[in-house]
Structure 1
Amino acid sequence: MRTALVSAIALALASASMASFAADQTTTQLPRDVRPSHYDVSIVPHAEQLKFDGKVSIAVEVLHPTTSITLNAAGMDFSAVTLTPKGKKALAAPKVAVNEDAQTATFTFAKPLPAGSYTLAMTYTGKIGTQANGLFAIDYDTTAGKKRALYTQFENSDARRFIPSWDEPDYKATFTLDVTVPSDQMAVSNMPAATTDKKGDGNTHVVFAPSPKMSTYLLFFGTGEFDRATTSIDGTEIGVIAQKGKADQANFALESSKAVLQEYNNYFGVKYPLPKLDNIASPGRSQFFSAMENWGAIFTFEYALLLDPSISTQSDKQAIFNTAAHEMAHQWFGDLVTMRWWDNLWLNEGFASWMAARTTEKLHPEWNAQLDAVYTREGAMSRDAIATTHPIVQNIDTVEQASQAFDTITYSKGEAVIRMLEGYVGADKWQQGVQRYIKAHAYGNTVSDDLWKEMDAVAGPGVTTIAHEFTLQPGVPLITVSAAKCEGGKTSVTFTQGEFTKDRPGKTPLRWHVPVIAKTVDGASVTTLVDGTASVSLPGCGPVLVNAGQSGYYRTLYPQDQFAGLRTAYPKLPAIDQMGMIGDAWALGLAGLEPVSNFLDLAKQVPVDAAPEMWGVVAGDLRSLDAYYKGDTTRQNALRKYAVGRLHPVFERVGWESKSSDTASVSILRSELIATLAQLGDKKVIDEARRRYAAQDTDPKAVPGELRKIITYVVASNADAATWDALHAKAKAETTPLVKDQLYTMLSIPQDDALAKRALELALTDEPGATNSADMIGAVSRNHPEMAFDFAVAHKAQVDKFIDSTTGSRFYPMLGGSSLDLSLVPRIEAFAKANIAENARRDSDTTIANIKYRSMVVRERLPSVDAWLKAQK
């Protein structure tokens, strides 16, 4: 009892300390003396001229006397501005000053404005872009010729390119949008159309119903030659909107959305509040996002929404479900309840990622989504273990910093920490806390502590402390396991908490209260909270498995004798624990905290009939290890010989041809093994892929839709000039955007240097389409990082036209992400110094840190791999 009391007091003291750090200091880049409540927006797009006319009347409240009103505006020209006090005549026209650098417009009046209610009206013109920011155009091919559609993308800070507005999440308001569009087009927004009036000039005026109170970045408008398919559930109409003739390819997404919406209505305890929920498919792509959670009008690029039977795979199907579930979760976490400022972005993204994973597990248990959660956590911990990491709740001061916040820490670490906390609190209590939070803050804005308050209310004090430590400080806890001792049928073991880091071996560890679940291999699980150290007694004797079930966010370091016992038991462990153990062994081995051979020993223990997901991990790790040997043919061939021999028996079981007995996991593994064996230079697989690719015109069975991507990938990756030319001709002739976009990506993945250079040059032309060029350069960088970076920098003026405005500070440095060449570091540093604001260089710093880390692995870890491989002969 005394131990429990001491722990409770420690938790309370730590919680109070962290709470002071988390005190609300909502950031704003605008004066706080004026607040909007409603926008009436009228838009007339001129798609061919890439411009639009706009009018807006904003109901505002002047909170304190002021002589000026400042709001956000970017790329706009104002022709008229008036301010009208409630019940009075308009004031004299103000002076208008536009600051493009600050993305603001300031209206200065001759006399101070008394506090009170006003209407601010503006007439303006704006620009239609060709990348996914603000109002933008997408041009795409069809069998009937070229078409153009318009869409909007406002997150994080681009509503200001569409409406002069208080473009920050805390300035919520209602919106009434009306648009004038060609009569042969469909217009869509967050709400259903209230009136539709065809004019005599070939245009139609559409007025949408008023929106609920929401942040500016959630407003949406799209128009084009669309089809719409619908269904309904719980009184809500669910729709999918796509280019004409393609809506049937969204049937899976439509039916999935129906099931997910019903699940979310039940889980959140608050019914989805809008009358309809559309998902709008667009050709093209962005470097920044695949889908966007606009309230009632989710925007999704076609590759993340449509299933084309000629190229789509089981992986695509599962990704489409996950994307739809993620964006629909935002309708509550993000839209109904919104973070006050971008420093708490994880309240949107981490929770949507966790909710999507949870819902996939429930609605599609056959997909084994709980294993994907381990993969997601591994990605987060890899990023979180280098010096350039950041807390989940982070300091955001600028638009550029806000754009960088959409990263692995926000999404994947956020998801993993929520999963851990849910496991610690219990699923039922966690749901109660979520429901309390949603109901308490509907249509409002929050900080993270608003959520922890509700969790403490249902789960008891202590949740906030753990949550603060995992969200307000960066890094990965390391649980070191002491030698275990078994007496009387019970095993005693001590855990010590440190910190796992990949590039700071002498770092003083941070401190966390870490929820740890442990068990002997055949015993029952025991949960403890490790605060520095903790000793536990586990039922049974045998090897001790830490993080059983893999819900914890930490690394585990075993003594070598205990690791040996677990290695022997490894084939019998559940797949989820196999994945967790091999993930730890990989990370700890490359960081030098345990022998690299531990990973290789575990990979050797994986039985041929192990879970397909487990073999996917082994294949992926062997591919990563192979990449470390790039440029060292002799040593690389030794690894490849072993890796091919290890994977071939598994591939022989899976085979090229699908079987009626195949699970979804087997279908995915087939493609993963083909890709891995081809990268490892397996001539048998490469030759068969080439044979099938050549035969597809005469033998429809040679390249089934499920394998078209991977077969084309193998052929393109190993292409010679003639093959590349033939693939290029195919891309030019293709009229289906989903297929065409993919073919241009395939043109960018050859291992041959000369062909990679041709792809880079092609990317700068108009041929691929405005949104494919940046993706092509990024695809080249996977095999040729130095070439891609140097090319992009040398042609920066042209490349800038092909990247989203939100991506400028990350696109260029991240091209070097797969490099092993330390000489690239000063080039990235020089680019960042010349082109990126000093407070927005996180991505360039991260790329540099990873290059240094990868170079260290080559120097210091590969010799151990060489020795292990030699011992296998």
Structure 2
Amino acid sequence: MGKGFVISKAVGIVLVVVGAAAVATIIALSVVYSQEKSKNNEVKPTTTTSAPTTAPSNEPWDQWRLPQTLSPQSYNVTLWPRLQPDPNGLYIFTGKSSVIFKCVKETDLILIHSNKLNISDPVTLTALGSKPAPHIDSIKMYPKTQYMAIHLKGKLTAEESYELYTEFVGELADDLGGFYRSEYEENGNKKVVATTQMQPTDARKAFPCFDEPAMKAVFHITLLHDRGTVALSNGIVIGEANITEEGTLLTKTTFAPTEVMSTYLLAFIVSDFTYIEQIDEKLQIRIFARQEAINAGQGQYALTVTGPIMKFFEKYYNVPYPLPKSDQIALPDFNAGAMENWGLITYRETALLYDDEISSNGNKERIVTIIAHELAHQWFGNLVTIRWWNDLWLNEGFASYVEYLGADEAEPEWNIKDLIVLNDVHRVFAIDALASSHPLSSKEEDVQRPEQISEVFDTISYSKGASVLRMLSDFLTEDLFTQGLQTYLDHFKFDNTVYTDLWVHLQAAVDKTGYSLPKTVQEIMDRWVLQMGFPVVTINTATGAITQEHFLLDPTTKPEKPSEFNYEWFVPIKWTKTGTEKPTKWLLQKNDQVDDMKINANEWVLANINVTGYYRVNYDNENWERLLNALQTSTQSIPVINRAQIIDDAFNLAKAGHIATTLALRTTLFLSVETEYMPWESALDNLDYFYLMFDRTELYGPMQAYLGEQVKPLFRHFTDLTNWTDVPQGHTDQYNQINALRVACSTGLENCTNLVNGWFKQWMQNEDVNPIKANLRSVVYCSAIAAGGEEEWDFAWKMFGKTNVATEKDKLRAAMACATKPWLLNRYLSYTLNSMLIRKQDATSTIISIASNVVGQSLAWDFVRANWEFIFNQYGGGSFSFSSLINGVTKRFSTPFELQQLIQFRDDNANIGFGSGTLAIQQSIERTTANIKWVDENKKAVLEWFESQRKP
């Protein structure tokens, strides 16, 4: 699954995160699918009941994992989604399904997943071997564990195969999970799409199935749908026929059987979308979207880059793409960023559709990286699949790493591979430095319930997974890494694995070539995978001593669980002395000695070159001073990535008490001569913490004055380079132009505020002609709305409703959270409870955007507390966005009163629960406690430092 979060490079106070899925309660459904009688031996159940809610037992139906008694071989599923409501106002789908399974171990129980489906009579069981099938005794539904339990009067025979047939009705709800509906307007008409999102545990909402990733099977899908609509699924269409069913004229579309695959990769969609296509060496590539979007050319960029990325991965994996087609479809309502369904990848519109005139450079990067992420999964995840969700990190971490390689193939001039340091490494450091973090890999028994499974779709799995795999690839060399990867994929294709299987194949590649490593691949990687956190490596350039220790933002806290490795790592240290690269040093214990790291006059040591290692670096004061001097006097002598690293390490080391906060602040002095994006972005990300802690205090003025002075040369640089009418050539230069405008305006530079307010007023005077450059719109919209009032906000809301371009909607939606009038923000918060105003997929991210605004922080927190039960029940405990929501509304907390409110919120809502945000609650409490301590210890020194930087 694609990352469901996007950090805006333009609006400092706005975070755009994945929208929430709403899980609705299915009510009794009256319409039953026209039953097609089985010609096999029908066995009518004597009872079909819901099991009473009792205390958990040791019975199989009270366990969260399927017993290993049955193994599915193939499914035959026919579904008919209704795109118009029934007389009760419900949208439904009806279906019939048969699954052929093999009995692995003798049993008198068939346990199969079924969630929120009304199962109809008859349920039939047919033997496919020589022995007759036992009769069905009873059928019971277990809503808590989401099972249909079929109790038999006799036993199934081991090694024999059987076919189970069911008919059912489900609601085509707007809950963004399973088989659901998405709605939009086109030319004034309401349109409905029937679409799917199965990962991780929602295939069972579409039809009864063995819904675990290791339970792979072949799927035969047939869709009945309104004439004039288009049906899509994983396979190619092998038959279409016009039929009449229950007096309704329909098209029956039959799809080719899938390859052997997991239930969570299934997809089927009915819509009146259109598409563009190209045939690339017999591979059919199609981009589907709303007709209006396709006609406007918004699918063209995706179509252009898909072929080159696909070819890159075929070469990278040394395995041909195993399907005849690759469909990609943009949906108006979608929970995550994208989903890698085999042969039919689903996306948010903002993750697939690009408008040359309206979309920004950031939108373009998001599209190409997410496409690369999903295409990477077609092999790593789909062809070879993790056995259970506790190893999700391998799936998502791998795709999050190689998405940069695939995107680099499509856009080689962008130098995009470097951005993993900002987007993933630095980002996940902030989470993994908490005592409430967690290891990459958990035990299977610790990840059981659907909400626990959803909880592992977090920053650790995606970004730490990407970071440690990048480190592994670097110290092995990319050539060895791909050799091991290729044999791994070839060996396990169409099968399931655990993460250590990859280590075995990488080790085989190492052994084959005789490459030298200090330990085995597994010994090295176990330290990074099986224990949470990461080390800080401290280098003393006076003595040559190097040490490592577990880095915690609050060193007084301790992880709840001990580590079998005692929080020590095997650390590959790439380093340089005054610009001369030295051989990699492996730190294999807590302390070591490297005499070559001692420095003489005018020398300095810099470690973790290009941040290929997943660790932070600290130095003795003498070396820090020399690095600061080098930044000021010979900036280019330090690689651009490491200029960003020095800032990020220093600020976080200061936060943890390893160095003085004023030393960290001094790493930003050189920005007055810096024009590169990565150091600026790193500084702004870290100074944002100071704003969160101090923008409600007397420190705010001096801080603003300092940053305003630092950004003036950058603002002049882009004024001279572009006059704010041209777009810089370089990919990251375009991002830094945005930074220059954003920071100059937010710190009150008059030339900037006049510029952006003038542009916005021009647009308000002629709404048909937007004079604002696409890249700059997020900044301009936010700044103008913050400076304005009701008139500006209402204009933005009006344009939000009018635009047909999803990326433009996102910019306006985020910018409206920049308002400084509390009543406007409160009104906006109320809109998030109405899906007719703010789509469910965007509700939580809108609340977070408002909370990111200093004016909206307390309003959003009060709103979440007052509406938690509604939010939780409406959006569902399994939604991926709950951790983002909880972290987003509490990240400014830095007082004992706020800490007490947070604890009270946790305790008051314990009976309701927090779903996938359960861990985020604990992380927020830990972070708030650390913030209180940090503010107490640093406020005075920080104020004095910013005051000292004021120009007379």
The normalised TM-score by structure 2 is: 0.84
**Which residue matches 1:859?**
936
**Which residue matches 2:860?**
788
Q: Residues 21-42 of structure 1, C-alpha deviation per residue, up to 9 Å, x if partnerless? A: xxxxxx9611111111101010
**Which residue matches 2:97?**
56
User: For residues 379 and 773 of structure 2, what CA distance do their matches in structure 1 show?
Assistant: 40
Q: Residues 486-542 of structure 1, C-alpha deviation per residue, up to 9 Å, x if partnerless? A: xxxxxxx23111111012336596111111111202212220110122333549962
User: For residues 562 and 523 of structure 1, what CA distance do their matches in structure 2 show?
Assistant: 16
Contact 1:516/1:547, CA 8 A, preserved across alignment: yes
Q: Residues 62-102 of structure 1, C-alpha deviation per residue, up to 9 Å, x if partnerless? A: 12221211111111110031110115766544422111111
Structure 1 residue 747: deviation in Å?
A: 3.0
The amino acid that maps onto 2:481 is W
Structure 1 residue 836: deviation in Å?
A: 2.1
**Residues 1:522 and 1:628: Cα distance change in structure 2 (over 3 Å):** same
**Residues 1:410 and 1:506: Cα distance change in structure 2 (over 3 Å):** closer
**Which residue matches 1:71?**
112
Contact 1:745/1:779, CA 8 A, preserved across alignment: yes
**Which residue matches 1:42?**
78
Contact 2:109/2:149, CA 8 A, preserved across alignment: yes
The amino acid that maps onto 1:795 is N
The amino acid that maps onto 1:824 is Q
Contact 2:503/2:522, CA 8 A, preserved across alignment: yes
Q: Residue 394 of structure 1: which of 419, 439, 442 is its match? A: 442
**Which residue matches 2:716?**
652
Contact 1:141/1:735, CA 8 A, preserved across alignment: no
**Which residue matches 1:803?**
875
**Which residue matches 1:294?**
341
**Which residue matches 2:647?**
582
Structure 1 residue 651: deviation in Å?
A: 1.6
**Which residue matches 1:513?**
570
Contact 2:845/2:885, CA 8 A, preserved across alignment: no
Contact 2:878/2:915, CA 8 A, preserved across alignment: no
Structure 1 residue 450: deviation in Å?
A: 0.2
Structure 1 residue 383: deviation in Å?
A: 0.6
Contact 1:793/1:812, CA 8 A, preserved across alignment: no
Farther off after superposition, 738-747 or 703-712:
738-747
Contact 1:404/1:843, CA 8 A, preserved across alignment: no
**Residues 1:587 and 1:426: Cα distance change in structure 2 (over 3 Å):** same
1:518-529 alignment runs, 5 A limit: 518-529=575-586
The amino acid that maps onto 1:568 is N
Task: Indicate yes or no: 2:848 matched with 1:775.
Answer: no
Secondary structure of the structure 1 residue equivalent to 2:141: strand
User: For residues 787 and 206 of structure 2, what CA distance do their matches in structure 1 show?
Assistant: 45
**Residues 1:749 and 1:140: Cα distance change in structure 2 (over 3 Å):** farther
1:133-532 alignment runs, 5 A limit: 133-199=177-243, 201-247=248-294, 248-286=297-335, 289-375=336-422, 376-395=424-443, 396-460=447-511, 462-484=520-542, 493-505=544-556, 507=558, 510-532=567-589
User: For residues 796 and 940 of structure 2, what CA distance do their matches in structure 1 show?
Assistant: 40
User: For residues 162 and 614 of structure 2, what CA distance do their matches in structure 1 show?
Assistant: 51
Contact 1:590/1:861, CA 8 A, preserved across alignment: no
Secondary structure of the structure 2 residue equivalent to 1:807: coil
The amino acid that maps onto 1:781 is A
User: For residues 311 and 586 of structure 1, what CA distance do their matches in structure 2 show?
Assistant: 36
Q: Residue 535 of structure 1: which of 593, 612, 619 is its match? A: 593
Structure 1 residue 448: deviation in Å?
A: 1.0
Farther off after superposition, 319-328 or 61-70:
61-70
Secondary structure of the structure 2 residue equivalent to 1:249: coil
**Residues 1:579 and 1:734: Cα distance change in structure 2 (over 3 Å):** closer
Q: Residue 756 of structure 2: which of 647, 668, 689 is its match? A: 689
**Which residue matches 1:709?**
778
User: For residues 724 and 52 of structure 1, what CA distance do their matches in structure 2 show?
Assistant: 40
Task: Indicate yes or no: 2:614 matched with 1:553.
Answer: yes
The amino acid that maps onto 1:557 is N
Structure 1 residue 353: deviation in Å?
A: 0.6
User: For residues 489 and 888 of structure 2, what CA distance do their matches in structure 1 show?
Assistant: 40
Contact 1:483/1:562, CA 8 A, preserved across alignment: yes
**Residues 1:705 and 1:381: Cα distance change in structure 2 (over 3 Å):** closer
Structure 1 residue 743: deviation in Å?
A: 3.3
User: For residues 679 and 822 of structure 1, what CA distance do their matches in structure 2 show?
Assistant: 29
User: For residues 816 and 660 of structure 1, what CA distance do their matches in structure 2 show?
Assistant: 35
The amino acid that maps onto 1:341 is W
Uncovered stretches (5+) of structure 1, i.e. residues with no partner:
1-26, 486-492
Contact 1:326/1:352, CA 8 A, preserved across alignment: yes
Task: Indicate yes or no: 2:641 matched with 1:568.
Answer: no
Report the RMSD for the aligned CA atoms in angstroms: 2.3
Q: Residues 404-425 of structure 1, C-alpha deviation per residue, up to 9 Å, x if partnerless? A: 1011111111111011111111
Structure 1 residue 831: deviation in Å?
A: 4.5
User: For residues 211 and 743 of structure 2, what CA distance do their matches in structure 1 show?
Assistant: 46
Q: Residues 791-815 of structure 1, C-alpha deviation per residue, up to 9 Å, x if partnerless? A: 2342345434652552275365334
User: For residues 824 and 638 of structure 1, what CA distance do their matches in structure 2 show?
Assistant: 30
Identity fraction in percent? 26
User: For residues 391 and 650 of structure 2, what CA distance do their matches in structure 1 show?
Assistant: 33
Secondary structure of the structure 1 residue equivalent to 2:191: strand
Contact 2:277/2:284, CA 8 A, preserved across alignment: yes
User: For residues 866 and 741 of structure 1, what CA distance do their matches in structure 2 show?
Assistant: 36
Farther off after superposition, 417-426 or 540-549:
540-549
**Residues 1:722 and 1:246: Cα distance change in structure 2 (over 3 Å):** closer
**Which residue matches 1:630?**
695
Structure 1 residue 832: deviation in Å?
A: 4.8
The normalised TM-score by structure 1 is: 0.92
**Residues 1:741 and 1:364: Cα distance change in structure 2 (over 3 Å):** closer
Contact 1:749/1:780, CA 8 A, preserved across alignment: yes
**Residues 1:681 and 1:30: Cα distance change in structure 2 (over 3 Å):** farther
Contact 1:311/1:708, CA 8 A, preserved across alignment: no
1:76-155 alignment runs, 5 A limit: 76-79=117-120, 80-87=122-129, 92-115=135-158, 116-155=160-199
Contact 2:727/2:734, CA 8 A, preserved across alignment: no
**Residues 1:770 and 1:370: Cα distance change in structure 2 (over 3 Å):** closer
Q: Residues 79-131 of structure 1, C-alpha deviation per residue, up to 9 Å, x if partnerless? A: 03111011576654442211111111111112222222100111011121213
The amino acid that maps onto 2:164 is L
Contact 1:336/1:443, CA 8 A, preserved across alignment: yes
User: For residues 611 and 837 of structure 2, what CA distance do their matches in structure 1 show?
Assistant: 47
**Residues 1:800 and 1:849: Cα distance change in structure 2 (over 3 Å):** same
Task: Indicate yes or no: 2:595 matched with 1:595.
Answer: no
Farther off after superposition, 735-744 or 616-625:
735-744
**Residues 1:748 and 1:29: Cα distance change in structure 2 (over 3 Å):** same
Secondary structure of the structure 1 residue equivalent to 2:257: coil
Structure 1 residue 752: deviation in Å?
A: 2.8
User: For residues 887 and 948 of structure 2, what CA distance do their matches in structure 1 show?
Assistant: 37
Structure 1 residue 188: deviation in Å?
A: 1.0
Task: Indicate yes or no: 2:717 matched with 1:668.
Answer: no
Choose between structure 1 and 2 for higher RCO, CA contacts under 8 A separated by at least 6 residues: 2
User: For residues 801 and 77 of structure 1, what CA distance do their matches in structure 2 show?
Assistant: 21
**Which residue matches 1:21?**
none
User: For residues 283 and 438 of structure 1, what CA distance do their matches in structure 2 show?
Assistant: 34
Contact 2:877/2:914, CA 8 A, preserved across alignment: no
Secondary structure of the structure 2 residue equivalent to 1:834: coil
Contact 1:792/1:812, CA 8 A, preserved across alignment: no
The amino acid that maps onto 1:669 is N
User: For residues 34 and 729 of structure 1, what CA distance do their matches in structure 2 show?
Assistant: 56
Secondary structure of the structure 2 residue equivalent to 1:795: helix
Task: Indicate yes or no: 2:817 matched with 1:748.
Answer: yes
User: For residues 761 and 713 of structure 1, what CA distance do their matches in structure 2 show?
Assistant: 20
User: For residues 840 and 605 of structure 1, what CA distance do their matches in structure 2 show?
Assistant: 39
Contact 1:213/1:443, CA 8 A, preserved across alignment: yes
Secondary structure of the structure 1 residue equivalent to 2:610: coil
